[in-house]
Amino acid sequence: MAPSRMKVFTSTLCTTMHTPAYEFLSGAETHYYESPDRRDVILKYLETQDDSFEVTERTEDFGAGPIERVHKQDFLDYLKTAYEEWIKEGGHPNGVLPGTIPHYKVARLGKLKASNCLAKSGEYCFDMSAVITKDTFKAAWNAAQVTLTATKDLVRVADEFEQSVVAGTASRDNPPGLYALVRPPGHHAQSDICGGYCYLNNLAIAAQWLIDQPDLKSKADGGPKRIAILDIDFHHGNGTQEIFYTAANPLYTSLHSVEDYPYFTGSALEKGEGEGLGFNINIPLPHATTNDDYVETLDKLIQDHVIPFKPDYILVSLGVDTYKDDPIAGFLITSEGYPRIGNSIRKIGVPTLFVQEGGYCIEKLGLNVGGILLGYMGKPASA
């Protein structure tokens, strides 16, 4: 049997660091939706289900290596120094926000790199929601390290699970799961650009780390471990797609809203390139998507693409901004739909790591995240 309690990896630094005062949405100044309150309300709900979750703040420091495997060095250097340079150049202390973003129609002969932070802010960011404060890089670094710590534990519990299956003491109907409760989120962060509240791509860093481990071999072909990514956030994970677009491992799959943020990625026509052709699966959904619609589409995605890939691990970009009352997103999915989504992922029968992405309806955030995790464990969710 799988453990009766799911281990939750988190850190108080996810609450105390990176707290922008505001952002701009639809031309208006508004409070920062990706707030520390998100982590707090999720944790508070999980703690009411203490027979199902074990929370740990143990975090290992894996250093810069795994992050540098995913993100380019000039981008990382920018994130480290952006706020200090911004203030020196007269930027507002709330944080770094781009005033000018290079447009593809604006030619830059010689492709000159930006020389000051006011220009770099547009070169390394694609929107106005990824505010960089004095401790944003530290917060993003911490989120990546927490996720890597959970990933390392995934390897351990997956090995124990396989041994138990062989011994006949565990069933693939009850695969183990882990949860990285982190912020800032990551799936919009590309190899050299931030946006959508995201700076370092936590899940992509975790996936690449698993692939890079020389002692981890896939049971399918003896090569590197096979990773299947399920992105269930309302918004397309443009960052994860870009990072792995030319790779056959991991498999990237995404269910997301059609013609919504980030607007210019997520088409079903985006199938990967080179070795990655056919390993990038986008399924855009209409805003009127219901619980039944979503679960039916997810089940078909799993049967048609995930299971045939023969993954050793599943990594889930867990966003619940699919909720019907989410203030900046939302399908027609109700809280009752989330345990069903978790149960669909459970049926894959593969050890799974959930990594927190979006979800901004504070009143229902804990219940909805908990619903997916409890559904994965085959347990009912209670308000």
3-state secondary structure of 255: strand
Cβ atoms of residues 370 and 318 within 8 Å: no
Place of tokens 């299956």: 165
Closest CA to 143 of 53, 203, 209: 203
Active site residue 305: no
Distances (CA, A) of 189 to 96, 200, 374: 16, 6, 28
Marked catalytic residue, from 18, 71, 187, 188: 188
Cβ atoms of residues 99 and 116 within 8 Å: no
Q: Count of residues for the chain? A: 383
Q: Give the burial class of 320: count Cβ atoms within 10 A of its Cβ; 0-12 exposed, 13-18 middle, 19 or more buried.
A: buried
3-class SS letters over 184-197: CCCCCCECCEEECC
Backbone angles phi, psi at 177, to 5 degrees: -140, 150
Q: Give the burial class of 88: count Cβ atoms within 10 A of its Cβ; 0-12 exposed, 13-18 middle, 19 or more buried.
A: exposed
Distances (CA, A) of 270 to 304, 329, 339: 17, 22, 30
Q: How far apart are CA 185 and CA 168, in angstroms?
A: 38
Backbone angles phi, psi at 79, to 5 degrees: -60, -40
Checking DSSP bridges between strand 23-25 and strand 28-30, what pairing results, if any? antiparallel
Place of tokens 């998507």: 289
Cβ atoms of residues 273 and 244 within 8 Å: no
Active site residues per annotation:
188
